[in-house]
Amino acid sequence: MTKEKVCRDCRRVVEGNECPICKSTDMTNKWRGVVVVIDPNSEIAQHMKLSVQGKYAIELK
């Protein structure tokens, strides 16, 4: 198992203790659901304000 956490600021799923996108170290391991952004121009990515490819949590607890 990987030790994935989620950045509270941008909801990106990251491994490690620093978010590669916003450099935040405010992480949570309580989250539910994942959306993978392949095309940042897609409707879902724009709706969720995700501008970088990658994996994001749908809901933080």
Of the candidate residues 1, 3, 13, 19, the single one contacting Zn ion (CB under 5 A): 19
Indicate whether 9 belongs to the interface with Zn ion (CB under 5 A).
Answer: yes
The one-character DSSP state at 9 is: T
Indicate whether 37 belongs to the interface with Zn ion (CB under 5 A).
Answer: no
Residue among 25 and 42 whose Cβ is closer to Zn ion: 25
Kindly give, in sequence order, each residue whose CB lies less than 8 Å from that of residue 6, ignoring residues fewer than 6 positions away: 12, 13, 14, 27, 28, 29, 31, 56, 57, 60
Q: Is the distance from CB of 14 to CB of 27 less than 8 angstroms?
A: yes
Indicate whether 22 belongs to the interface with Zn ion (CB under 5 A).
Answer: yes
Given the rule CB under 5 A, which residues bind Zn ion? 7, 9-10, 12, 19, 21-22, 24
